[in-house]
Amino acid sequence: MKITIEQLLQNTDKYKAGTQIELSGTIYTARDQAHKRLVSLLNNGEKLPVRLKDSCIYYCGPCPNSPDKIIGSCGPTTASRMDVYTPAMLSNGVKIIIGKGKRSKEVVDSIKDNKAIYLIATGGVGALIAQKVKSFKLIAFEDLGPEAIYELVVKDFPLIVAIDCFGNTLFR
């Protein structure tokens, strides 16, 4: 099913665990070090380089792009490393998270409390996912290299709802 970020944001409750979607819209990469910095800024009441409200965060550290390509390989990284920061990100407005692998009970509860949604992309298929990226721009924390925050505009990004807004999970 093809949907946009806006459609997903309006009706997170329509997309149950197990639903396969192709998502289009603007997403932001953030992984370990970017999460650490964002949550530290939040805790200190400082201004953030991205608006978290109704945002979609993608756990990804892409390869650099060669001159003839929009982006290098850009698949998901293991989400559980971000578990400790995810409740803070969700309570500050992040609605959609994209990664791979299981999440902690605290994250599942936080997804439920904030009516958010956790989508998974297939790990290790970064070349395929790169074909779905239409633009790629550095937003913040350039010194982190692949761990910086980048803005990606994606078209038909293949994903599966792994934890829905009711806290149902696909993982066994």
Partner 1 sequence: MRKIESKDIISRITDLCADANFNLPQDITDCIASYIKNDDSISDKILKEILENAKIASQEKIALCQDTGTANFFVKIGKNVEIVGDDIFCAINKGVAQGYTKYYLRKSIVCDPLDRINTKDNTPANIYCDFTDGNEIEITILTKGGGSENASFLKMLTPLDGWEGIKKFVIESIKLKGANACPPIIVGLGIGGDFASVGLLAKKAILRTIGSKNKKQEYDKKEQELLEEINKLNIGPMGLGGVPTALAVFIETKHCHIASMPVAINIQCHSCRRKTIVL
Distances (CA, A) of 130 to 117, 120, 133, 137, 138: 23, 16, 5, 14, 16
Contact 148, 37 (CB under 8 A): no
User: Interface residues with partner 1 (CB under 8 A)?
Assistant: 18, 20, 33, 60-66, 69, 72-75, 77-78, 80, 100-102, 120, 122-128, 130-131, 144-146, 158, 160, 162, 170-172
Calpha distance 105→169 (Å, rounded):
11
Closest distance of CB 145 from partner 1, Å: 5
Minimum Å distance from CB 8 to partner 1?
A: 19
Q: Are the C-beta atoms of 160 and 18 separated by less than 8 Å?
A: yes
Q: Judged by CB, which is closer to partner 1: 45, or 67?
A: 67
Nearer to partner 1, 10 or 135 (CB): 135
What's the farthest any 2 CA atoms get from each other in the chain?
43
Instruction: Determine which one of 35, 95, 100, 132 is catalytic.
Output: 35
Beta carbon of residue 92, minimum distance to partner 1 (angstroms, whole number):
24
Between residues 52 and 59, which has the closer beta carbon with respect to partner 1?
Answer: 59
Q: Please say if 77 is a catalytic residue.
A: no
DSSP class of residue 38? H
Catalytically active residues are 35
